[in-house]
Amino acid sequence: MNDDLFPSDETPARRQRRTTQSRTARSGTTQSGTIQAEATQPGTIQAGGAPAGMPGSGESYGAEQIEVLEGLEPVRRRPGMYIGGTDDTAYHHLASEILDNAMDEAVAGHASVIDVALEGARLLMVRDNGRGIPVDPHPKFRDRSALEVIFTTLHAGGKFSGKAYDTSGGLHGVGSSVVNALSDRLEVEVAREKRLWRQDYARGKPVTPLEEIGKAPNRRGTTIRFSPDPEIFGTLSFSPQRLYRLCCSKAALFRGVTIRWHVDPALIRAGDETPVEATIHFPNGLADSLNAELGETPALLAPAWAGEADLPQAADGRTGGRLEWAVAFLEHGASSMTSYCNTIPTPQGGTHEAGFRAALVKGFRAWGDQRSMKRAASVTADDILGALAVKLSVFIRDPHFQGQTKEKLTTQEASRLVEGALRDRLDHWLGGNPSQADNLLAFMIERAEERLRRKESKDTPRKSATRRLRLPGKLTDCTRENAADTELFLVEGDSAGGSARQARDRETQAVLPLRGKILNVASATADKLKANQELRDLIEAMGCGSGAQFDAERLRYGRIIIMTDADVDGAHIASLLMTFFYREMPDLIRRGHLYLAQPPLYRLTHGAKTVYAMDDEDRVRCLKRDFKPGAKVEISRFKGLGEMPVKDLKQTTMDPARRTLLRVITPPEERAVTSERVESLMGRKPELRFRFIQDHARTAELLDI
Ligand SMILES: Nc1ncnc2c1ncn2[C@@H]1O[C@H](COP(=O)(O)OP(=O)(O)OP(=O)(O)O)[C@@H](O)[C@H]1O
Ligand SMILES: [Mg+2]
Ligand SMILES: [Mg+2]
């Protein structure tokens, strides 16, 4: 019957008709029967594209369409599957993979020092003083060394059985080979048994054999130097700040390691405070890093509650792993939770976080019972967890993560193990510090009661419909009535306000100067927010209400444009404002009303020619592109919008015909993440806030309006 349906000399067009018939006839032909009959060259690699004569036709789908990618080809073809994409985060994930391997070596007790050096914008070196990747021939592929197998084969590694490592972050055996596949250059040097070995690769393929290049009498360990491939990542490069922060977080996770950081000073951009050199070591682990991060943030308990516990041994007597935590109880909002498993960050949480939460909630509830505090009954998990800044790190055997970027821990028993171990320690601690424990619980009860009050006020009907329109005195309004074609510029300070007023189009552009830094909304309570004059003016000027009262129909302008100075302070204010809108008027963003103006930082003039540059990098680019080499170009740096000549401000930043605006968006799939990011970044250090705006410039849509 198959023979009848698929005679071998049939033309594709005829076969197409026939197949259609057979589908309708449904004469018992199975799918696999079809595939078998058409399979002429199983396992060949297709150049891609549909066979001639039937472009894109669904009916051409047969065995010849099934490709088998070999070696590291799949990694280059579908990087997303291995590193989550080809964006900035994916780019830096390559660094994590290599650093994670060095950390695994340290956590296993074989390495104590890791050097991380950013030698070029896209050249990173990582060296550890561990055992060194094995260089002897691999028993299974006798003509290749274990090292070469590791770097050129997916799923090759020493962490599957737990014989060479106990609680490693590596588990898939793909990290090194993925980095190799996606690098246009990768060099490995291994010092092992007093000998020094080296092999070079390009795009996943060896370009030299593994060679002994000398003696290494006093050294051991692995050195890897690599450059992510521009064919895959375009013009991306490493961010010193991001790498430095990665090193700090790794060092905090394991007290037994020292990370020596170095970056070529030429790579540090103006305003970036990343050190050129640093020795990173946290003798008190997570507690050190949490306290450093919280800085001045008011907390009920300082220093944080921190500790360590061993997890129960497995039935076979092998180590069960361990748990480390640091918890701060914050006076207002801005809760955060950073978790790790085997030093791998798990931003999506997972079973270890679930165990942690359960232990805390149950522990405090039980304390309430024990102290007969009746009001404690209204306290929910959110009331407790919403006031915590948490760092949690677990080391377990054989962890299971979701995907190669390992953002979520899925090991089921982690939840029970963490809950058990932590609950024990929490009960002990509460019992040992009863007055402190009572204070904490009283604070949680207060949070619960505030939540109930908020809910009540939300349920009362809006009475604003007939409210008389009040406008703040500082607002310079535009004359046109129709909201859709008008814009409100939010500017920083009165002097910038003055320039903006002169540079604006009176008919369609309104200006509202905001004084100083607006309140950091992520860490303020609802009451404090309401009391803040700057924010009240802002809400009034916009006319649309905030929070539960927000009503897009009443918005008085079509575009709300944040226009701050092109420096770190400006970025900070812009990010505070974005946080405010994100928290209080998320619909404003969703509906595409929020924008960032893009004022330049430099003006370059030579003769009659004037060019504006956005930042230092842009200035260098413009100099090269727009002026003759050697020309005496006059460069002025604008100290702030207030000092920028009105004509320049109009031309570059405000005039709808010539400016560029960035629209602030929250992509739907990122919404959950964004909320977390806003919460965790806004509560803390200014540098973090700066990064938020830089990163978000990437997710913001570029629009010329
Ligand atoms: N710095 C290092 N020192 C010693 N051995 C290493 C080092 N880097 C890699 N290896 C060895 O190479 C193996 C493969 O590393 P790779 O990163 O590819 O996979 P993995 O770490 O086992 O798992 P994952 O894919 O989850 O990272 C490791 O299991 C380890 O045996
Ligand atoms: Mg690894
Ligand atoms: Mg591998």
For residue 197, what pLDDT band results from cuts at 50, 70 and 90?
Answer: very high
Which helix (H) or strand (E) covers residue 244, if one does?
helix 240-253
CATH of the domain at 314: 3.30.230.10
Q: Which amino acid is at 558?
A: G
Is the Cβ–Cβ distance between 346 and 354 less than 8 Å? Answer: no
For residue 36, what pLDDT band results from cuts at 50, 70 and 90?
Answer: very low
b/e code 406-418 from CB counts within 10 Å (16+ = b): bbbbebeebbebb
How many CA within 13 A on the CB side of residue 484? 0
The verdict on 222 and 335 lying in the same domain is: no
Catalytic residues: 492, 565, 567, 569
Q: Which domain holds residue 425?
A: 284-458
Whether residue 176 is annotated as binding a ligand: the answer is yes
Give the number of the ligand closest to the Cα of residue 158. Answer: 1
Res 39 pLDDT > 60:
no
Q: What does the pLDDT average to over 601-607?
A: 89
pLDDT confidence of residue 221: 97
Is the Cβ–Cβ distance between 614 and 638 less than 8 Å? Answer: no
- Domain count for the chain, please give it: 4
Return the best residue to mutate from 149, 150, 189, 201 for the ligand 1 pocket (most ligand atoms within 8 A of CB). Answer: 150
Cα–Cα distance measured from residue 213 to residue 192, given in angstroms and rounded to the nearest whole number: 12
Residue with CA at minimum distance from ligand 1 atom 12: 157
Lowest mean pLDDT among 95-99, 376-380, 428-432: 376-380
Name residue 635's beta-bridge partners.
Answer: 604
Q: What does the pLDDT average to over 2-28?
A: 35
648 falls within a domain: yes
Is the Cβ–Cβ distance between 338 and 345 less than 8 Å? Answer: yes
Give the number of the ligand closest to the Cα of residue 177. Answer: 3
626 falls within a domain: no
**ipTM, two decimals:** 0.98
Report how far ligand 1's centroid is from the alpha carbon of 146 (Å): 11
pLDDT confidence of residue 334: 65
pLDDT confidence of residue 49: 39
Indicate the residue among 247, 280, 313 that finishes a domain: 280
The verdict on 324 and 402 lying in the same domain is: yes
Q: Which residue has the higher pLDDT, 256 or 51?
A: 256
Structure tokens given for 585: 């008027």
The verdict on 436 and 485 lying in the same domain is: no
Q: Is residue 342 in contact with ligand 1, taking CB distance under 6 Å?
A: no
Cα–Cα separations (whole angstroms), residue 5 to 2, 11, 533: 5, 12, 79
Whether residue 611 is annotated as binding a ligand: the answer is no
pLDDT confidence of residue 667: 54
14 falls within a domain: no
124 falls within a domain: yes
Indicate the residue among 458, 483, 500 that finishes a domain: 458
Report how far ligand 3's centroid is from the alpha carbon of 317 (Å): 30
Concatenating the DSSP letter of every residue in 643-668 gives GS-HHHHIIIII-TTT--EEE----G
The verdict on 336 and 264 lying in the same domain is: no
The verdict on 531 and 590 lying in the same domain is: yes
The verdict on 266 and 290 lying in the same domain is: no
Handedness of CA 156, 162, 166, 172 (dihedral sign): positive
Interaxial angle between packed helices 412-432 and 351-370, expressed in degrees from 0 to 180 and rounded to the nearest 10:
30
For residue 363, what pLDDT band results from cuts at 50, 70 and 90?
Answer: very high
Residue with tokens 């061993």: 310
The verdict on 305 and 215 lying in the same domain is: no
Cα–Cα distance measured from residue 269 to residue 571, given in angstroms and rounded to the nearest whole number: 15
Q: Is residue 175 in contact with ligand 1, taking CB distance under 6 Å?
A: yes
The verdict on 700 and 662 lying in the same domain is: no
Cα–Cα distance measured from residue 308 to residue 290, given in angstroms and rounded to the nearest whole number: 15
Q: Is residue 93 in contact with ligand 1, taking CB distance under 6 Å?
A: no
The verdict on 585 and 647 lying in the same domain is: yes
25 falls within a domain: no
Residue with CA at minimum distance from ligand 1 atom 8: 101
Q: Is residue 285 in contact with ligand 1, taking CB distance under 6 Å?
A: no
